[in-house]
Amino acid sequence: MAEQESTNNLIHLGVGGGSKVERIKKESAYLRGHIAEELAQESSHFTEEDVNLLKFHGTYQQEDRDQRRARRAGGEEKAYQFMVRSRIPGGVLTAEQYLAEDEIAGRYANGTLRITTRQGFQLHGVLKGNLRATIREINEALLSTLAACGDVNRNVMACPAPLASRAHARVHEIAHTIAMHLAPRSRAYHEIWLDGEQVQTVQQEEGEVEPIYGPSYLPRKFKIGVAFPGDNCIDVYTQDIGLVAHIEGESGAEDERLAGFTVLVGGGMGMTHGKAETYPHLALPLCYTPIEEIVEVVETIVTIQRDYGDRQNRKHARMKYVVAERGIPWFKSELESRLGRTVQEPRPLQWNGVDDHLGWHEQGDGRWFLGLHVQNGRIKDEGATRLRTGLREVIAEFRPGIHLTPQQNILLTDIQPAQRTQLEARLAEYGIATDPDSLGIRRFALACPALPTCGLALAEAERVSPTVVRQIEDELRALGLENEPVTVRMTGCPNGCARPYMGDIGIVGRTKDFYHIYIGGDQPNTRLNMLYAQLVHVNDVAATIRPLLEIWRDERGASETFGDFCHRVGLEYLRARVADASQPVDVHA
Ligand code: SF4
């Protein structure tokens, strides 16, 4: 989720050599602000300055926008509530930690858990009076919300497959090491949420420093992901820093080892409608780094963004603009100068696709894992599908490992072969499907939360996405294309939290009920898609895409995907063909 309204309102209000948010960060005494004092007050919400600082602690102040009009008419204040996000490197947690999150969701939030597209958990609907207990109990489960949001390094993503190979294990270790290395060092988080000690003054804390970030932290949020070779399941090109592992030795053999990483820099999805200086950008290859040096190289890249990122204009503050405007040769030279040595050329990358890891898979150690689909990452009970209850019961009974995936799904790991049948039967009792082939294109769909909780949402996403996806699926079925793996990603605004500028079809909210439609991404997510249609009513999205599907069916090359076909023939051709087909036929001709 991108930043909320309050921050948005502060953009461009430059104060003292930076935006107002920059001043708030700098004067916060390392993320303290007045959060503790406000927390102790009876009010339902925080004031604007602390709302900005709360993000660093892993929570966004939101409101239930469904209630906005009625409350305003009744002269009541907004229905304030909080989203609380856990930072879970690589999406790996224990059964006990899952059960703790589930219990907290029931006790303090709206009774649902939401898996994020960065492999974390979000709880929605937490009231201010329950905020400290929520964050404290998450920490008691040995998880954390620190730096899950804010202008710092966010959750580090990693391929979630629990394969028993040494190289896979090392990828997860590296993701964890980087996450810990880049976590804020300020004691503010512990003071406010955990220790309950009186917050110390700035003067008392003079010795405290953030050795990597400094007192103003980063200009903007920062994202890192670690990919396993061949499988771009973490969308490596959308990260500020994307690391692609290089493995030496034979797969699964004694000599298999993780040797190093090709480092990519400058990815990012967010843009603003009507502002040409903002755009999605794919990360570009920078260098190859041996494993021993990777933490140092990552930290140094972070410091380049710290020093060169735009602190005047938050819409232009992501590292992608530094990379796009200064170029890779400049970036590499800056990196080398800071490291005091040269770096190696990036290695060639090859992608086989995106593995969503759904269904049953052998782990390589005699045990199995089961990938379960979670629609838009929302773990809830609805109708005959009692996903939340079923997962809770099964996880409590079988105690599997838990891995959250970048496609917002969940993997139950370390299952003994003899347990498979029983586990499937237990899931079936709650209406939970285990065969990914039964999902159709729902399997590949992503949507952000949008309304009613996200303050930036211009239109619905999660709540309408199942209908839109079903309508597209109906069109595919009518055209005999129902077995094609078409990806659909939908967001309620252009900030792009569900990465809609990648994949076959991106649907991006423009205003209430109206969307821009993007087409032409590729399956391994190495290419941005293209803006095809603007301001399409939500009821017309599938009908707008249908003629394109028909042309694809009739004219594609062997095994050519929808995105590849659209990219090859181009927008001009597609628009002309659709316009031709819509001409009325002259029956007298
Ligand atoms: Fe992110 Fe969706 Fe909110 Fe936009 S509407 S900021 S894409 S969660």
What is the whole-number distance in angstroms between the Cα of residue 3 and the centre of ligand 1? 8
- pLDDT at 6 > cutoff 80: no
- CA distances for 286 relative to 307, 334, 423, angstroms: 18, 11, 45
Residue 274 token pair: 């009507």
- The candidate with the shortest Cα–Cα distance to 487, out of 406, 420, 422, is 406
Site of tokens 């105690």: 399
Q: What is the mean pLDDT of residues 404-416?
A: 97
Q: What is the pLDDT of residues 36-48, one digit of tens each?
A: 999 999 999 999 9
Residue 160 token pair: 């979630």
What is the whole-number distance in angstroms between the Cα of residue 508 and the centre of ligand 1? 10
Residue type (1 letter), 402? I
Q: Tell which atom from ligand 1 comes closest to the C-alpha of 500.
A: 7
Say what the pTM is: 0.94
Q: 170 catalytic, yes or no?
A: no
Active-site residue (options: 55, 154, 443, 499): 154
Q: What is the pLDDT of residue 16?
A: 41
Q: 154 catalytic, yes or no?
A: yes
Q: What is the pLDDT of residues 262-310, one digit of tens each?
A: 999 999 999 998 888 899 999 999 999 999 999 999 999 999 999 999 9
* Distance, CA of 497 to CA of 2 (rounded, Å): 7
Cβ(492)–Cβ(458) below 8 Å = yes
Cβ(306)–Cβ(317) below 8 Å = no
Mutate to test the pocket of ligand 1, among 451, 497, 514 (most ligand atoms within 8 A of CB): 497
Active-site residue (options: 187, 454, 499, 510): 454
Nearest CA to ligand 1 atom 1: 1
Q: If you write DSSP's letter for every residue of 116-178 in order, what string do you get?
A: -TTS-EEEEEE-GGGHHHHHHHHHHTT-B-TTSSSSSB-PPEE-------HHHHHHHHHHHHH
Three-state DSSP class for residue 81? strand
- pLDDT at 583 > cutoff 60: yes
Q: What is the pLDDT of residues 497-519, one digit of tens each?
A: 999 999 999 999 999 999 999 99
- CA distances for 12 relative to 26, 152, 407, angstroms: 17, 20, 34
Rounded (10°) angle between helices 95-108 and 387-398? 140
Residues in the ligand 1 pocket, defined by CB under 6 Å: 1-2, 448-450, 454, 456-457, 461, 491-493, 495-497
Q: 221 catalytic, yes or no?
A: yes
Surface-to-core class of residue 544, CB atoms within 10 Å of its CB (0-12 exposed, 13-18 middle, 19+ buried): middle
Q: What is the pLDDT of residue 585?
A: 53
The DSSP H or E segment spanning 62 is: strand 59-63
Which letter does DSSP use for residue 190 in this model? I
Q: What is the pLDDT of residues 21-38, one digit of tens each?
A: 999 999 999 999 999 999
Mutate to test the pocket of ligand 1, among 8, 278, 456, 510 (most ligand atoms within 8 A of CB): 456
Q: 448 catalytic, yes or no?
A: yes
